[in-house]
Amino acid sequence: MKAAMSISTTSFLFLSPPSLPPLSRTPQPSFSSSFKLKPLILQTSPTTRRNPFLTRADDGDVESAGPDDYEMDEDEMEEVDNEKDFDIEYEANGDVDIATAQSMNFVSTQGWDPDTLVDYRINEDEFHKISLLDCDFFIRKPPDPDNDVYDFREMYVTPPDTDVYSIPKVLAPMPQKYIRCAQSDFGCDNVTEPPVDARRDPLYKSEREIEKAFLTKHYKNRRLGDPEFVLDFEEIYVIDSKTKSITRAKVLVTAPGGRTRDRKSDLLVIADKGNSFKIIHMSEKDDPTTVIERREWAQSREEMERHLRKLRDFSTSNWF
């Protein structure tokens, strides 16, 4: 899985609660022998609180959808949540069990206040170290030959290349067991020119600035070498460098088939600076040049209209 990225492009392609019960009514009012009218009583069941991190499915037409068309207003979101949601835990019993290894140094950090400094040092060799632009993120690494098992019950964050450990901000429920994840990053290449007097330095200096890291769960926790290995794009955990936090991505599914679809044909579209996630079918994949042209066209049109608004007759000329 490889990300195509550039400085001026913010769109990236990665291959790879039930409805509320109706109001219940008592039988229609009737007259007894004493001709007394029984009152009509309406009873409503308590509404259930919907989970904001459920994977949402949408079967609408997406042929003309651009990178900015993935956002939905509140009414549409509510309709999708009520009618077409499905929980990602639909095959919880089908996951491959990962051998549990006890660690003498394990300290559960779940429930701790964010930004709390700890008064001890950790053995960084027992953690996955994710180096970001503004911080280093540590997640417990259980022993495993594939080195891709994550234990989200113990996490720390530090300033870059320091040993001042603190508790990160956890903005969504984290898994309570080991899971296998594939790591990818979102960022840009910062290209600078050397000083004029440094004649023998390279002409350009390029540094990779990673703003976010994505941890995508292996479908059913299968190993990388498994013949049926595929990534589960419905379960992605996002680590943000600027806010020093970790959360779970809200993914919109438009690929046909729902839960029983062939996940090998899934295509993940990440847009809006790594904040919008959408799963489409592989057949709907656009050429990278087309994506860039569509984005630049929308941006240039917006800039032109912003310039034309300065004209006095814009309301009339805009009609043409």
* Domain-embedded: residue 217: yes
Q: What is the pLDDT of residue 260?
A: 85
Percent of the chain at pLDDT > 70 equals 64
pLDDT band per the 50, 70, 90 thresholds, residue 271: confident
Q: What is the pLDDT of residue 257?
A: 86
The residue that leads in pLDDT, 145 or 69, is 145
* Domain-embedded: residue 158: yes
Q: What does the mean pLDDT of the chain come to?
A: 75
- Asked if pLDDT for residue 252 goes beyond 70, the answer is yes
* Domain-embedded: residue 61: no
Cα Rg of the chain (Å, integer): 26
**Burial status of residue 103 (CB atoms within 10 A of its CB: 0-12, 13-18, 19 or more):** middle
Name which of 178, 191, 213, 214 is nearest 102 in CA terms: 178
For residues 136-159, average pLDDT: 93
- Asked if pLDDT for residue 320 goes beyond 80, the answer is no
Whether this prediction's pTM lies above 0.85 is answered by no
* Domain-embedded: residue 38: no
Q: What is the pLDDT of residue 170?
A: 94
Q: What is the pLDDT of residue 64?
A: 41
Q: What distances in angstroms separate CA 83 from CA 17, 127, 234, one per listed residue?
A: 8, 41, 18
* Domain-embedded: residue 175: yes
Q: What distances in angstroms separate CA 79 from CA 48, 82, 89, 100, 125, one per listed residue?
A: 15, 5, 21, 41, 47
- Termini Cα distance of the chain: 45
pLDDT band per the 50, 70, 90 thresholds, residue 72: low
Domain count along the chain: 1
What is the greatest pairwise CA distance in the chain? 108
* Domain-embedded: residue 234: yes
For residues 209-235, average pLDDT: 93
* Domain-embedded: residue 107: no
The residue that leads in pLDDT, 240 or 271, is 240
Could you tell me the residue range of the domain that residue 244 belongs to? 127-189+204-261
